[in-house]
A and B are shown apart, each in its own frame.
Chain A
Amino acid sequence: MRSEPVVQVQALVKRYGTKTAVDGLDLVARQGVTAVLGPNGAGKTTTVETCEGYRRPDSGTVRVLGLDPVRQSAALRPRVGVMLQSGGVYSGARADEMLRHVAGLHAHPLDVDALIERLGLGSCGRTSYRRLSGGQQQRLALAMAVVGRPELVFLDEPTAGLDPQARRATWDLVRDLRADGVSVILTTHSMDEAEQLADDVAIIDAGRVIAQGSPEELCRGGAENTLRFSGRPGLDVASLLKALPAGSSGAEVAPGSYRVAGEVDPQLLATVTSWCAQHGVMPDRISVERHTLEDVFLELTGKELRS
């Protein structure tokens, strides 16, 4: 059950002077939560800001909720919530004052007090924005993005620099938004965040999408997984290998410590455990190591540092 795309980007090119920030990027995001991952300078923010109508594409087309973000901005803006990476609030404004103001620009805003309570901004009291902590500023920006009851919200690194409690509160809110049918596009450096929240992950590098799919699909694709178990030393690994499907490998990597690599699926696990049963082996500490999104990300984008 996949609906019409909420965001559709085709062959987007965006240059700043001689530097090409986005280089023929294609991206389709549907209802749900889409995480955009990529190293610094990969073109994430440029892509998102083009969708928000801040940048005009040099070429290519961008449609958000079926509308052109630049030409049909007036129709689009009330339907979309935006959380910038930083700032966006008068330095002398109080958190509740600014949130109430943004709510007042919308026809059917959320209950401001409930949102303040939920995001733990009630303690900000009469403190002006510039004196709020980074986490409080971040949560205020998030609240401002959702208060207008949008169909789609763009969150640019919503949990960067948050403490674990605040990060959890943000994740819970994103899950609730999703459950109530709000689509979310979020950029992040946190693989954990993408795995936790996203229905769909797009990995961007050097201005292009280099992989896209659900976290499970991305983790499964290509990369082989590992199964480990412990038993008495000196088991007959050759006989185990015969039982395993072609393409698997196995070894006793340390005395009593065994490792099987290959496409680790339920069938393979059953094969290993029944082999153990036949040989009277109790496989201690049996574990399956799936590739994490981080492994996939590093595999795709390389391990060297980016500028």
Chain B
Amino acid sequence: MTATGAYTPKPGAAPLTRMIAAQAVLETKMLLRNGEQLLLTVVIPTLLLVLFSTVDVVDTGEGEAVDFLAPGILALAVMSTAFTGQAIATGFERRYGVLKRLAASPLPRWGLMTAKTLSVLVTEILQVALVTVVALALGWSPQGDPVSVFLLLVLGTAAFSGLGLLMAGTLKAEATLAAANLVFLLLLVGGGVVVPLDRFPDGARDVLGLLPISALSEGLRDVLQHGAGMPWGNLATLAVWAVAGLAAAGKLFRWE
């Protein structure tokens, strides 16, 4: 055994932006490679959009069905990626020691979370593009101000990310898997995504209206279907969820 110099120490961290970018690319690759995740984030929203637009399953009120459905499906896409997908993926990363191992790498923990957020945003951009193209092909005629739409999507992402990470960082991976899927299903039905909230009894409607999914889907619908101005009420609801969720996740998240 002689010294070859091949392993002579030469430590150092890569530049922070490069680390975060690399981490975001890897996280996005992992997500796009995962069949269940794609089912959740791509197949189900697209399928629901096409099915409910072309077959008269639920009464979506006056006007074209797609004009009612497209905003709801956009909200669903945000929830599927920022909440369900992120919760399940992060839960299993925690379970399999990925978070623990990365915590020992030069990438700081906040850098890892930033990369996760970037990965969620990239996925959402792809989803929004897909849903928009499909909806336009189905005859969608969106109204309103793109800035309002953008703000709703960003605050919705923050709200769902906080809740998803809270779940992933506190529950067992299997519990997260089950709970995140259950919540996805319940909110899909009860959150104004494909079923208008005014189909529910008054009392239930008031409560359901406070859910982040309802705030997002109703806000997007007010703007995109009815051309309403800045939906302050819905934005405020999402902001409250975002602050509460992210604060709780920041406090309670366990890395292993």
Contacts and interface: CB of A to CB of B under 8 A. Distances in A.
Interface string A247-280: 0000000000000000000000000000000000
B36 to A, nearest CB: 11
Contacts of B108: 74
B105 A102 contact: yes
B46 to A, nearest CB: 22
Given A77-B106, A87-B97, A146 B13 contact: no
Interface string B25-68: 01001100110000000000000000000000000000000000
A106 B13 contact: yes
Given A88-B96, A88-B98, A77 B3 contact: no
B207 interface: no
B83 to A, nearest CB: 20
Given A90-B30, A149-B9, A179 B4 contact: yes
A105 B14 contact: yes
A87 B23 CA distance: 18
Interface string A78-95: 111010101111111100
Nearest to A141: B101
Count class of interface residues, chain A: 35 or more
Which secondary structure dominates chain B's binding surface? loop
A105 B22 contact: yes
A148 B11 contact: yes
A285 B26 CA distance: 62
Nearest to A154: B104
Nearest to B21: A104
Contacts of B106: 77-78, 105-106, 148
B186 interface: no
Contacts of A54: 100, 103-104, 256
A104 B26 CA distance: 11
Contact of A180 (B6, B19, B26, B93): B6
B101 A106 contact: no
A101 B102 CA distance: 11
B22 A108 contact: no
B113 to A, nearest CB: 15
A299 B12 CA distance: 44
A151 B9 contact: yes
Count class of interface residues, chain B: 35 or more
Given A74-B108, A91-B96, A92-B33, A79 B11 contact: yes
Contacts of B251: none
Contacts of A107: 10-14
A239 B101 CA distance: 65
Contact of B11 (A92, A101, A106, A144): A106
Contacts of B104: 52-54, 77, 80, 82
A150 interface: yes
Nearest to B103: A54
A91 B2 CA distance: 37
B13 A91 contact: no
Interface in B96-155: 96-98, 100-101, 103-108
A151 B19 contact: no
A186 interface: no
A52 B10 CA distance: 19
Interface string A95-128: 0010001101111101000100000000000000
B28 to A, nearest CB: 12
B7 A149 contact: yes
Nearest to B6: A180
A149 B256 CA distance: 26
Interface in A192-231: none
B18 interface: yes
Contacts of B14: 104-107
Given A87-B97, A104-B14, 20 more contacts: A53-B104, A77-B104, A79-B9, A84-B97, A84-B100, A90-B26, A90-B30, A93-B26, A101-B23, A104-B22, A105-B19, A106-B106, A108-B12, A146-B7, A148-B105, A149-B11, A150-B9, A179-B1, A180-B7, A181-B8
Interface of A: 52-54, 74, 77-80, 82, 84, 86-93, 97, 101-102, 104-108, 110, 114, 144, 146, 148-151, 175-182
Q: Which 10 pairs from chain A and chain B are nearest by CB?
A: A87-B97, A107-B12, A88-B101, A180-B7, A82-B104, A78-B13, A79-B11, A179-B3, A151-B9, A108-B10
12 contacts: A54-B104, A87-B101, A88-B101, A90-B93, A92-B30, A106-B13, A144-B101, A179-B3, A179-B4, A180-B7, A180-B9, A181-B3
